[in-house]
Amino acid sequence: MSELKRIFVKGGILSPNELKQIIHHAKSLGLDALHFGSRQDIILPAHIENSNGSEIVNKKNFNTVADTDLQNIVCSYVSADIFPSTTWLNGSTYLYILESFKHQPKIKINITDPEQGLTPLFSGELNFIASPHEDYWYLHLNLSHWEEPVYYPVLIYSWDISKISQAIEETCRDAEDVEELFLLVNDIVEANNRTIEKELIVPYKPFPYYEGMNKMGIKQYWLGLYWRNNKYYLNFLKEFCDFCLENRIGKICITPWKSFIVKGIPTESKLLLEKFLGKSGINVRHSLLELNWHLPVADEEALALKKFIVMNFDQNDISTYGLTFAIVTRATRKIYFTSIVIEKNKVPDMMKQYTVRPTYNVLFSEKFDPNSQKYQIYAQDVDQIELPGLLMELSKLYFEQLGENEDDGPSHKEDEAPEKKQVHQCSNCLTVYDTDFGDSLNEILPGTSFEDLPDDYLCSVCASAKEAFIMATI
């Protein structure tokens, strides 16, 4: 990693023109490909052939991964409009929040929607997570000098996120706990906070499929592209940017899974794009077995191990739908964001002069939910040859327990009768008036009781008078 440089891309959001500029600079360094990082950034080998290229790099915020103290902001804008979302949260909100950041953060910041599953919620040090209240966010703190992650004691207003982030960055080293941090931040920032009424509960959702051409609304499509070796060749990317510009496609979004998504493709451009991808030899339907992996950038050993495991999965017809995997080197403090982690053990210093066969640990998250941030060991100090079998066992265990937890989705027990409620029903056409929903056709707001309806209220279907309604149980 010390030989790599990266470009910060706020929230992983680029215009085609911005990506073309990056491609131009990468080519000036003598490169033919670039990589995507797990924090929605762009990573390049530090191979500089001329002083002009070096000067451009410095002006464009390229930073050496190993020694920089700056961080990219991660956000789930990439999921907006294509995956489930919190009702009040849309793509414009992310763009406004990102634009409000006038400083380059030195701590990892995530700005995410708990309803989507593509962008990790807790992989940052400051994790802003959308609440049910419009324009308010939970703040989950996972600071390196604190023993345990904690939640900030109030909800954060959307337009305060950038200044509170900067204030926390400036004061967190002086605070021993979250209460002290809260007081220090309040001395610096005048914020429009809100009381937390309910603690954050993130329901488990299987990981979404994010590749290929997919319908988006009525007249548009979105495209997800993935390269198994994480080498995105510059010539193809330049042609792709030109296609986007010619077809009024304004944004290209990098995912945390070393892939990218393009939204808002006009229906009339779909066939042209499919022909372009086909002529370029681009595969847009990789096996689901190999999509949901998090690997270190430019780590050929990790890539070879992934190929070995995926080949074994394929030969044994194993399903991994909903699961995510990571290959990492064991560390003392590490934030994972996958269901299953393959952890390579470090070779002891006294053994480095010898050829030692690597060993691995296998971990899995509680209920196979990465958002639990609780991992338990399934196997320790195993050889590579044992890994496929162990992961297949875990896959079967995942499907055995799927649906047993309340958060997995609705479950109905035969011995439990559904909850009944009292409503008013029109005796002529059987239309139901439910206080919880009101009557939008008659401009009656939700929460209006039947008794509070005006005397001249009429059934929205058959126009019967209010007196025609009778009590009913549903």
pLDDT range class, residue 352, cuts 50, 70, 90: low
Q: Are strands 259-266 and 220-226 parallel, antiparallel or unpaired?
A: antiparallel
Rg (CA), the chain: 26
Four-point Cα dihedral 427, 431, 435, 440, nearest 10 = -140
pLDDT at 49 over 90: no
My answer on whether 322 and 249 are in the same domain is no
End residue of a domain, out of 286, 320, 352: 286
Q: Which residue has the higher pLDDT, 225 or 356?
A: 225
Task: Tell me if 359 sits within 8 A of 383, measured CB to CB.
Answer: yes
Model pLDDT, residue 420: 62
Does residue 307 lie within any of the structural domains?
A: yes
Model pLDDT, residue 159: 94
275-320 confidence digits (pLDDT tens): 999 998 888 888 888 889 999 887 889 999 999 999 999 999 888 8
My answer on whether 338 and 233 are in the same domain is no
My answer on whether 344 and 445 are in the same domain is no
Q: Quote helix, strand, coil % in the chain, to nearest 5.
A: 30, 25, 45
Residue position matching structure tokens 């706990």: 177
Task: Tell me if 467 sits within 8 A of 425, measured CB to CB.
Answer: no
Spatial separation of the C-alpha atoms in residues 375 and 336, rounded to whole Å: 9
My answer on whether 400 and 430 are in the same domain is no
β-bridge partners, 184: none
My answer on whether 262 and 299 are in the same domain is no
Can you say whether the dihedral through the CA atoms of 78, 83, 84, 88 is positive or negative? positive
pLDDT at 435 over 90: no
Spatial separation of the C-alpha atoms in residues 178 and 289, rounded to whole Å: 41
Highest mean pLDDT among 2-16, 26-40, 121-135: 121-135
My answer on whether 294 and 404 are in the same domain is yes
Where b means 16+ CB within 10 Å and e means fewer, 181-193 reads bbebbeeebebeb
Model pLDDT, residue 65: 45
Does residue 108 lie within any of the structural domains?
A: no
Spatial separation of the C-alpha atoms in residues 215 and 211, rounded to whole Å: 12
Can you say whether the dihedral through the CA atoms of 51, 54, 58, 59 is positive or negative? positive
My answer on whether 300 and 276 are in the same domain is no
Average model confidence (pLDDT) across the chain: 85
Residue 293 parent element (H or E): strand 293-294
pLDDT at 52 over 50: no
Where b means 16+ CB within 10 Å and e means fewer, 242-278 reads ebbeebebebbbbbbbbbbbbbbbeeebbeebeebbe
pTM (global) more than 0.85: no
Question: Which amino acid is residue 375, in one-letter code?
Answer: Y
122-132 confidence digits (pLDDT tens): 999 999 999 99
My answer on whether 266 and 310 are in the same domain is no
What's the gap between Cα 349 and its chain centre? Answer: 37
Model pLDDT, residue 418: 46
Does residue 44 lie within any of the structural domains?
A: yes
End residue of a domain, out of 286, 317, 347: 286
End residue of a domain, out of 238, 257, 286: 286
3-class DSSP assignment, residue 184: helix
389-434 confidence digits (pLDDT tens): 999 999 999 998 887 655 444 333 334 444 567 888 888 777 888 8
Identify the DSSP state of 176: S
Model pLDDT, residue 336: 85
Model pLDDT, residue 67: 42
**In the chain, how many domains are there?**
3
Give mean pLDDT, residues 229-239. 92
3-class DSSP assignment, residue 399: helix
